Structure 1
Amino acid sequence: MKPKILITRKIADEVVSKISEVCEVDMWPDEERPIPREILEKKVEDIEGIFCLITETIDEKLLNNAPKLKVISNMAVGHNNIDINVAKERGITVTNTPGVLTETTADLTFALLMATSRRIIEASNFIRNGNWKAWAPMQLTGQDVFGTTIGIIGMGRIGEAVARRAKGFDMKVLYYNRNRKHDIEEMLGVHYTDMDTLLQQSDFVVIMAPYTPETNNLISHRELSLMKNSAILINTARGGIVDEDALYQALKNNGIWAAGLDVFATEPVPFDHPLLTLPNVVTLPHIGSASIRTRIKMAHLAADNLINGVTGKIPAHVVV
């Protein structure tokens, strides 16, 4: 008998076919909306594996409903949606999809940096709203990117990829990480520093750290007060790393110049969120890895992790 698994969102047919060769598949048919919690709690009762997204909270209550569960395959690098400790206690393998989304997410990060610094969205809307009457010397002027200083908080795979792009713009690259990376410093010419110095000296501060209890609200009032008035904050990691109330105050009171955000503490971000009222904030709906090729690669990797987990093999990318 094939092991029974649940896929919590409609994914590409080719990936479903791969899983179906080995498993009995139950898939939530909606591509856009997450599976409702009450339905998820019912469907996990007799499954051995779950293919999930960051939109599903896999907590102790849910795991209590899943006595047969062997593997949780998260289609993401981050896994803060899963109670790792409870899964480990119960011998449930948790997997993720690192590597395949590195370059795509770095592309998006740098695109967001450029769009924010040069006011691209604001300028496009300026035309669409019929406001462009004449060329003016200081109209929609932004901040330079080439030759400036970028500070990267979190020098993992994606942080390294952002640093490579920054070097192409002749930027001085500072970084802060839990562990110093001498090999990356030698290879890319980046400079390790403490976080306070990074915040004080950087024209762009880019958040690349994972979300953990230690990084919750890592950037708050104090940290924002250290940044230059002309500095720009970019976050494509996780929303909870930045204290959004503190960021709103810093932006509103000219403590920093602008912010580019692909992630929020609550997603989807509420339409009446204060940050959405500010003209110096560029917002995106968590699309860091959203290229067609990368999302298909992520789904295939998550499928491979799932199949290996339910058939007694060791998946390639195990978190616990």
Structure 2
Amino acid sequence: MNSSDQTIATPRRRLLITGVPPQKVIDRAEASFDVTLWREPTPIGARLAGEAQGHDAVLVMPGDKLDAACIGALPRSVQVLATYSVGFDHIDLAAATARRLPVFNTPDVLTESVADLALFLILAAARDTTSAERTLREGRWGPWAPTSMLGRSLQDQRLGIFGMGRIGQAIARRALAFGMQLHYHNRSRLPAEREAGAVFHDTLEGMLAQSDVLCICAPSTPELRNAVDARRVACLPRGAMVVNVARGDLVDEPALFAAVHEGRVGAIGFDVYRNEPRIDPRWLDLPHATLLPHIGSATTEVRTAMGMTALDGVESHFAGRPAANLLNPETCH
């Protein structure tokens, strides 16, 4: 065989995934890359730099904290990052951009799933289903009485949506089916056709005063951390319910605890917290509280779609194609 007839195989790019996604995602990844899966149950954290040696791309989990030092320590072989999440507050995006490291996330695919869970939490808070279930499980269910285990109907309750993005709008559509009155606060007013009849408030305080139920859907940004603090909780009508499907750092947790114990907040439904998964133990002592372990995107369909979207971004980078889920497009200039 002449040397001209010989072909030299191009080495496949290597991808490190710092978790174990659904099998369909693994199959897709292995079709395009040599894949390394991080199978330990703990976040990879400071070990990322060592584990990423020789890899061209890294797909991280939301529990992996990539601060500036971690990103700076990544081997030069790493050309692209992706995160298995919509939120990217666990990644120092400025540090990645300074290193000209593209970062991709997974927008859009979990909107409906999170909105479903938000409605579940609103219903659970209104009917105090956690307390009712505990009554049954602990054998304390007695004879029927007209005033036992009373909750609230959602009909005509005022729902205040803090953050009217895709998820907030999906929640609004669902809430209309329960006869709720809609209010929202956003950085700017939406076009009328996207408001679902909701009343816009240009201040958060103004919306809170009109909210029998507060649903937090805003993004985690430095400006919004602790946005729901003691002063703003005091703006709510007494006995209002608070639901959070966004990020834990939007809420001043000690202020919320105090408001629940005082009865200013009547019930809560939370899926997100500070310092997950090692949350403040005071959460567990709250009355009238439905607490879930950050499962807003936890359906087989959504977690699979998230992985596929992340891989779309990584593959688009190596193919030189534009991608809508690129968080720092300035890295492509």
- TM-score surpassing 0.5? yes
- Match among 11, 16, 21 for residue 6 of structure 1: 16
Aligned partner letter, 2:256: L
Q: 2:78 maps to what in 1?
A: 69
Give, in whole Å, the separation in 2 of the partners of 1:214 and 1:136: 48
Give, in whole Å, the separation in 2 of the partners of 1:226 and 1:316: 38
Aligned partner letter, 2:95: V
- Match among 247, 257, 261 for residue 256 of structure 2: 247
Q: 1:207 maps to what in 2?
A: 216
1:250-304 C-alpha deviation (Å, 9 max, x unpaired): 001111111111000110143x611210122211000011111111111111122
Residue pair 1:44, 1:65 contacting (<8 A) in 2 also: no
- Match among 291, 302, 312 for residue 310 of structure 2: 302
Give, in whole Å, the separation in 2 of the partners of 1:296 and 1:237: 21
- Match among 163, 168, 186 for residue 159 of structure 1: 168
Aligned sequence identity (%): 33
Residue pair 2:45, 2:66 contacting (<8 A) in 1 also: no
Say how many residue pairs are matched. 316
Residue pair 1:19, 1:307 contacting (<8 A) in 2 also: no
1:109-145 C-alpha deviation (Å, 9 max, x unpaired): 0001101110112111101100012111111111221
How far did residue 184 of structure 1 move? 4.0
Q: 1:175 maps to what in 2?
A: 184
- Match among 241, 262, 286 for residue 232 of structure 1: 241
Residue pair 1:9, 1:34 contacting (<8 A) in 2 also: no
Q: 2:37 maps to what in 1?
A: 27
Residue pair 1:28, 1:35 contacting (<8 A) in 2 also: no
How far did residue 16 of structure 1 move? 1.5
Worse overlay, 34-43 or 199-208: 34-43
Aligned partner letter, 1:257: G
Give, in whole Å, the separation in 2 of the partners of 1:81 and 1:37: 11
Cα RMSD of the aligned pairs, angstroms, is 1.5
Worse overlay, 119-128 or 33-42: 33-42
Instruction: For residue 45 of structure 1, give the secondary structure of its aligned residue in structure 2.
Output: coil
Aligned partner letter, 1:135: W
Give, in whole Å, the separation in 2 of the partners of 1:26 and 1:85: 27
Matching of residue 287 in structure 1 with residue 300 in structure 2: no
Instruction: For residue 224 of structure 2, give the secondary structure of its aligned residue in structure 1.
Output: coil
Map 1:256-267 → 2, pairs under 5 A: 256-267=265-276
Where does the alignment leave 5 or more consecutive residues of structure 2 unmatched? 1-10, 329-333
Aligned partner letter, 1:89: A
Instruction: For residue 181 of structure 1, give the secondary structure of its aligned residue in structure 2.
Output: coil
Matching of residue 273 in structure 1 with residue 284 in structure 2: no
1:47-102 C-alpha deviation (Å, 9 max, x unpaired): 22111111111121111222232221111111101111111111111111111111
Matching of residue 17 in structure 1 with residue 27 in structure 2: yes
Instruction: For residue 219 of structure 1, give the secondary structure of its aligned residue in structure 2.
Output: coil
Instruction: For residue 257 of structure 1, give the secondary structure of its aligned residue in structure 2.
Output: strand
Where does the alignment leave 5 or more consecutive residues of structure 1 unmatched? none
Worse overlay, 99-108 or 41-50: 41-50
Give, in whole Å, the separation in 1 of the partners of 2:301 and 2:244: 23
Q: 2:51 maps to what in 1?
A: 43
How far did residue 307 of structure 1 move? 2.0
Instruction: For residue 226 of structure 1, give the secondary structure of its aligned residue in structure 2.
Output: coil
Cα 1:72–1:280, aligned 2, differ >3 Å: closer, same or farther? same
Map 1:84-233 → 2, pairs under 5 A: 84-184=93-193, 188-193=196-201, 194-233=203-242
Rg larger in structure: 2
